[in-house]
Chain A
Amino acid sequence: MTASGLAALPLLELTVVLPLAGLLLALPLGHHGARATLALAPIILLVTALLCIEIMWSGAPIERVAGGWDVPLGIALRADGISGAFLLTTALVACAVAVFQAQGGQDGGATRRSTFWPLFLATWGALNAVFVSGDLFNLYVALELLTLAAVAMVAYGSTEAAMRYLLFALSGSLVFLLGVALIYAGSGTFDIGLLGSAGAGDTAMTVAAAFMTAGLLAKAALFPFHAWLPPAHGNAPTPASALLSALVVKAPFFILVRIWFDIGPETSGVLMQLLGYLGVAAILYGSLLAMRQERLKLVIAYSTVAQLGYLFLVFPLAGAAQDLPWTAGTWSGAIFHALSHALAKAALFLAAGIVIEAVGHDRLQGLAGLARDLPMTVFAFGIAAVSIMGLPPSGAFIGKYLMLTGALAGGHVFLAIVMIGGGLLAAAYLFRPLRLMLLAGETQPAKAIARRRQVVPLLLALAAVGLGIAASLPYALLQIGRSLTATEGIE
C-alpha cells in the first residue's frame, strides 16, 4: 500500500467512527457485545496503526473537516503526531483490556456483562474523539461522553465513588465549558488551529484558558483535585480501572497540552509554575499515600495520582518559554511519560485484577506466595513497576530523561530532584506489594488463571518497556505537527 493509498481511506474519521459504531452495535447485543468488540478491536488497532503510518509517511498532520465545511464554520478533525501516539496507545491498551475481559469477564453481574461493552467502546470512541478533535466545543462533547461512560463503569464497583467522580467531573466540565464560552465570545470560533494562529492574547482568552485549565485539572485528578481518583479507580472493575487510570485521565491532560502549546495563550508564566508545583505536590503526596495503602488497587490508584504529577511538569519546563532549544525534548519527554504510564498502568491494573480473581481480594497482607502461583502475573507487575519508576529501559525513563535534561538546562534543579525523588518513592510503594508477593510460605489455594490471560498484562508491560527501547520511532512521530518553535532535541 502506498501513501496515497492510505490517504484514500478515511482513517482519521474511522478511528472515531469505528468505536462509536461498535458501541451502537454492542448496545442491542447485550452481553454478546464481547464478540462484536473482539472482532472490532483489532480492526480499530489496525486503522490506528495505519493512521500513524500515514502521519509518519506524509510527515505532516492529517486534517479533515466534517461535512466539508471549512473552519470556523465546520469542525476540524486533526491528527498530528501526538494524536497518533495517543490513539495508538489507546488502541493497544483497549485491545488488551478487551481481550482480558472477554476471556474471563464472567465474574461480573448480569448488568456489567450487558452494558460493559457499550460503555467500553464509548470510552474508546470518546478518547479517540478527544485526540483528533480540533474544536473546543466538540472537545467538550467528547469529554462528556467520556465522563458518562467512565462514571458508569466506576459505578459497577462503587456507587459512592462514582458519585464523587461525577461531582468532580461535572464541575470540571462546566468550568471548562465556561472557558469555551468565553473564548467564543471573544474570538468567535471554537477552532484550535484558528485560535492558535490568531495569537490571541486578550483578556478573555487568557481568563478562558485559566478556566479551561482549572476544569481540566479537576478531570485529570491533579493534586489537590485528585481525591475522587483512588476510590474510583481502586473500586472499579479491573478492565475499567485499567482504562480509567491509563487513559481517561490523560484525555484532559491532552487537551491541556493542546491549549497551552497549540493555542498558546499569553501567560505570565506564573500559572505554568503553579501547574508545575501542583505536579510536584502530586508526585510527593500521591507517592506517600500510595505507601500507606493496604490494598493493591489503591496502591496503583495513588500511583496514578503521583505519576500524573510528572506530566504537569511539562508546563513550567516547556510551557513558559516555548522557544528554548530544549523545550521540544522536554515536551516530548512528558508525552513519552504519559504514553509509557498508560501502558504500564494498564498492565498493573490487569495484573491486580488477576490477583483478585485468583485469591478473591487484593489486601496486600494476604498476597504471600503469589510469585509461585502466578509467576507470569507477578513478573508483569514487576516490569510494569519498573516502567512506573521511570527506570531504563522503559519509555518512562526516556521521558524522564528528556524532562530532566530540560529541567537542568532551564535551571529547574528543584524539579529535577523531585523527578528523581519521585522515582525512588515509586520504587518504595511498588516494591512493597512485589516483595509481599514474593514472600514464601503461607500457601493459600489460589484459583488457577489461564496463561493466555496472564500474558495480557505482561505484553502491556513489555510494550511500556519497548517504548523506551524503540524510542526513536515514537519520538519521530511526536515531532510531526508539533507546534513548539524550539528546535529538535538538545544535540
Chain B
Amino acid sequence: MSADLLALLLPLAIAVPLVAGLLSLLGPLRPHALSLLPLAPVPGLLAALLVPRHTSFEAPDLLIGVRLALDDNGAMFLAMASLLWIAAGFYARSYLRRSDHQPRFAAFWCLTLAGNLGVFLAGDVATFYAAFACVSLAAYPLIAHERSAEALRAGRVYIVLAVVGETCLLLGFMMAATSAGSLLVPEIRQALPGAPHPNLTIALLLAGFGIKAGLVPLHLWLPLAHPAAPTPASAALSGAIVKAGIYGLIQFLPEGAGPALWSDVIVAAGLVTAYSGVAVGLTQSHPKVVLAYSTISQMGVIVAVIGTSLGHDPAPGTLASASFYALHHGLAKGALFLGVGVIAASGPKVVRSVMIVMALVGLGVAGLPLTGGALAKLAIKGSFAALPLHLVTLSAVGTTLLVLRFLIVVRATAAAEPEARPEAGLLWPWLATAAFALAVPWLLFAAATGEALSYPLKPENLWSALWPVLAGGILAIVAARVMRLEPPNVPEGDLVVPLGRLTDGLVRLVATLPPLRLPIGGGWKRPGMVGDGLLKVESALTRWPAAGLVLLLFMLGAAATSGGLR
C-alpha cells in the first residue's frame, strides 16, 4: 500500500466510528448496534500499526482546516486506545445485552471513541479541541447510562467539570494559537514559551487537561463517574479517555522550554495527585472507586513525568516514556475494570483463577517485575531528579497498597452461586486486555526507551521494581492483620461535597441578579401621563375670549418683531 492510501487510515480512524455511531441509530441496524462496537476502533488500530510516522492528512474544507498527523507518542496512545476500545467493545456486547437503550449507548460509545482517537490524531488545535470536546461530552451519556441516582449525580459532576475544562482549554488554545499565529499543534507548542502570557496559557491548559486526567484537585468527577458507568465504559474511561488529558499535556506543554517554575509545579502537582489518590483510594470500599483513585494516582505519576520535560535540558525520551507509561496503564486499568465485571459473574469455582490474573495485572500497575508495569516504571525513572525519583518510587508502595485494597474489595463482589461462570463475551475480552497489558509493553519497550529488552532484566532494576511491591504487601498485611486498621469513611469524590455546596451558592447568587429594564413602553397604560394641566390649558384655549386675546397679542408681538414699532 502506498503511503497516500495509508494516510487515509487517519481520517478513517475517526470517520469509521462516527459512521458506526450513526448506523447504530438507523432502523435496520438498531438491534445489532452493540455488534458494531468492536469493529469501530479497528481502523484506528490499523492506523497506529501501519501508518508511517509523521504522515499527515489534510482536509482544508473541514472545520478551519483539519490536519491529522501521527507521531510516535500519538501512535502509542492510538494503539493502546484502539486495543482497549476493541476489547471493551466486545465486552460491552455481552455486558449490555439486556440493557435498555442499546442503540443510544452504542451511538455515544462510537462518538466518544471517535473523539478519543481524534485527540491522538489531531494535528491542528481546532481539530484537537473538537475531538477533545467530543470525548468530554459524548462520554456523559455513557456515564449516566444507568439513569440511577448515582449515575446521574456522577454525570452532573462530570459534565460541570468537563465544561469548565473545555472552557479552560478553549481559552488556553486561543491564547496559544494567537501567539503562535498558527493552528498547528507543533508550532503552537513551540511558540508557547514566547507567548504574551505564557503562565496564564499554561495554567489554563494544565487545568483543562488536568480535569480530564484527574489531576488533584480537579479529579472530582473520576471516582464518581467510573463506578457509575457500565463496566466497559468505565474501562474505556479510565483506560483511554483520561489519557486524552495526558496526551494533551504531552502535545502542548513545551518540552524543554517551559518557564522553569512550571516544571516544578507540575511535578509537584503530579506527585500530590499520586499520593492523594492512594490515600483516598485506600478509604474506599467500592472496587471501581478504588480503581478510579488508582487511576488518579497513576495519572499523577505521568503528569509528574511530563512536568520534568518542561525543565531545561530534560532527559531525552521523557515524553516517550510518559506515553509508554500511559500505554501500559491504559491497558492494565482497562483489564482491571473489565475484570470487575468478570468477577461479579464468577462463582467460587472460578473466582480464584480470575483473581490471580487480576492480581498479576494489578500488581503490574505497581511495577511488579517482569510485568509490563515494571517496564513502564523503569522507562520513566530516567526523567526524574533525585528527590522526585524517590517519591515516585515510593509511590509504588502506595500503589501496591491500593491494588491490594482493590483485590480485597473486588473479591467480595464475586458471584455467590457456585456454578456461576463469566460468559465468554466477558471473559475473553478481559483476558485479552490483561494479556496486552502484560505483553505489549515488552513489544514496545525498545522503541519507546531506546533501551534493549535486557535492561529491565538487570538485577538492580528487578530489585528496584520489586521492593516497593514487597513493601506494600508487607505494609498491607501489617495494617490489616496486625493493626486491624479500618479505613476512615471518605465519601466518593471526596471534595465534591463541599465544592458542590460552593457552586450551589454561586448559582443562587446568579439567580438573584435583578432584571434590568428601562421604563419604556408602559406609558400608554397610564392615562394620567399627560398632566391634567394640559387639559386645563385646552379648555382655556377653547374659550374664544382667551384665544382671541392671544391672537391680538400675537398680532402686536408679530408686528413689533417685524419692526412695526420701530
Contact = CB atoms under 8 A, between A and B. Distances in A.
A and B: real partners?
A: yes
Interface of A: 164, 167-168, 171-172, 175, 203, 206-207, 209-211, 213-214, 217-218, 224-228, 231, 265-268, 270-271, 274, 285, 288-289, 291-292, 428, 432
A214 B558 contact: yes
A172 B529 CA distance: 34
Contacts of B548: 167, 171
Contact of A288 (B534, B550, B551, B566): B534
Contacts of B523: 428
A226 B529 CA distance: 22
Contact of A292 (B535, B542, B561, B562): B535
Interface string B518-547: 000001100101100011011001111001
A171 B558 contact: no
Given A214-B555, A268-B563, A271-B561, A225 B534 contact: no
A227 B538 CA distance: 7
21 contacts: A164-B542, A164-B544, A175-B551, A207-B562, A207-B563, A210-B558, A214-B558, A224-B541, A225-B541, A225-B550, A227-B543, A228-B542, A266-B562, A268-B563, A271-B558, A274-B557, A288-B534, A291-B529, A291-B530, A292-B530, A292-B535
Contacts of A266: 562-563
B477 interface: no
Given A224-B550, A291-B529, A428-B524, A274 B561 contact: yes
B140 to A, nearest CB: 45
A217 B535 CA distance: 21
A214 B559 CA distance: 9
Contacts of B551: 171-172, 175, 214, 217-218, 225
Contacts of A213: 558
Contact of B534 (A209, A226, A265, A289): A289
Nearest to A287: B530
Given A207-B564, A274-B561, A432-B524, 20 more contacts: A167-B548, A175-B551, A206-B559, A206-B562, A210-B564, A214-B555, A217-B554, A224-B541, A224-B547, A226-B541, A227-B538, A227-B543, A266-B562, A266-B563, A268-B561, A270-B561, A271-B562, A285-B537, A292-B527, A292-B530
A206 to B, nearest CB: 4
Contacts of A289: 530, 534-535, 538
A86 to B, nearest CB: 25
A288 B564 CA distance: 35
A214 B563 contact: no
A218 B548 CA distance: 9
The 9 A-B residue pairs whose C-beta atoms are closest, nearest first, are: A210-B558, A207-B564, A270-B561, A206-B562, A227-B542, A210-B559, A227-B541, A214-B555, A288-B530
B435 to A, nearest CB: 75
B566 A203 contact: yes
A171 B555 CA distance: 12
Nearest to A431: B524
A175 B553 CA distance: 12
Nearest to B564: A207
A168 B544 contact: yes
B558 A274 contact: yes
A271 B556 CA distance: 11
Nearest to B555: A214
A211 B563 CA distance: 12
A265 B564 CA distance: 12
A203 B564 contact: yes
B444 to A, nearest CB: 74
Interface string B416-433: 000000000000000000
Contact of A265 (B527, B530, B542, B562): B562
A259 to B, nearest CB: 12
B559 A211 contact: yes
A175 B562 CA distance: 16
A16 to B, nearest CB: 30
Chain A CB within 10 Å, residue with most, of B534, B550, B555: B555
Contacts of A428: 523-524
Nearest to B527: A292
A270 B564 CA distance: 13
A203 B563 contact: yes
Nearest to A231: B542
A161 B62 CA distance: 77
A267 B523 CA distance: 42
Contacts of A271: 558, 561-562
Contacts of B557: 274
A210 B524 contact: no
Contact of B563 (A171, A206, A231): A206
Nearest to A163: B544
Contacts of A225: 541, 547, 550-551
B249 to A, nearest CB: 60
A206 B544 CA distance: 27
A228 B544 CA distance: 9
A228 B547 CA distance: 10
Contacts of A217: 551, 554
Contacts of B543: 227
Interface string B437-474: 00000000000000000000000000000000000000
Contact of B524 (A168, A214, A291): A291
Contacts of B529: 291
A384 B524 CA distance: 21
A310 to B, nearest CB: 20
A179 to B, nearest CB: 9
Contacts of A292: 527, 530, 534-535
Given A175-B555, A214-B555, A274-B558, A206 B534 contact: no
Contact of B547 (A168, A274, A288, A432): A168
Contacts of A172: 551
A217 B557 CA distance: 14
Contacts of A203: 563-564, 566
A39 B79 CA distance: 96
